[in-house]
Amino acid sequence: MKKLKPLSRILIILSAVLMVSGYFLPLWQILMWAPQYPEGLDMQIWINDIKGDVKIISALNHYIGMRHIEVSMFPEFQYMIYIVGFLIAFGLLASLVNRRFMLVTFTTLIIACALAALVDFYLWGYDYGHNLDPTAPIIVPGMSYQPPLIGTKQLLNFTAFSGPDIGGWIFIASGILAIGTVVFEFKRFHNKI
């Protein structure tokens, strides 16, 4: 089994430690603008909470038949802290074990968790934007209000944006660092052949 270069071990530790930011910074953001809200409305998704203009957004969404946004809607908040904690611990363990397979496993776990989070958010957004109350005050036949997964989308008179917040960008940097370390290790191996 191949040992890692000292630089790779340091990069793995850095990748793992960067994820600690997820406990202290918002991971995702949803921003909305409309003529009556030119300053915009924001909603920040943290590791176990939702903050920002949630009450205003919820009240507006209720007029078009969407459910009120509440932390209890997201069972993921109950275990996200443990998943991130596991990733951090596994990264530190990978550096300690000092084997390439641990680096690859750590990187694979980061990618798998990121993809699972995106799929989960898409499915939540689909359900939230399509399962509307048929007795809502405002009904536009055939209209659904699924927020964008990533990027910008027009929803009636609102422009909605969804994307990583500062904690999410740090997580992305952590993943890029892990992937870069894998590439570095395998290039080093192939250069020896």
Question: What's the pLDDT tens digit per position in 14-72?
Answer: 999 999 999 999 999 999 999 989 899 999 999 999 999 999 998 888 888 888 888 98
Which residues, in sequence order, are CB contacts of 138 under 8 Å at separation 6+? 63, 64, 65
The count of domains in the chain is 1
45-56, pLDDT tens digit by residue? 999 999 999 999
Q: What pTM was computed for the model? A: 0.87
Domain that holds residue 110: 6-192
- Does the residue 60 lie in any domain? yes
Domain-located, residue 177: yes
Is residue 133 assigned to a domain?
yes
Full 3-state SS string of 44-83 = EECCCCEEECHHHHHHHHHHCCCCCCCHHHCHHHHCHHHH
CB 162 within 8 A of CB 149: yes
pLDDT at residue number 139: 81
pLDDT band at 128 (very low <50, low <70, confident <90, very high): confident
Residue 1 lies in a domain: no
pLDDT tens, residue by residue, 73-119: 899 999 999 999 999 999 999 999 999 999 999 999 999 999 999 99
At 134, the pLDDT band (50, 70, 90 cuts) reads: confident
pLDDT, tens digit (0-9, with 9 covering 90-100), for 145-189: 888 999 999 888 889 999 999 999 999 999 999 999 999 988 876
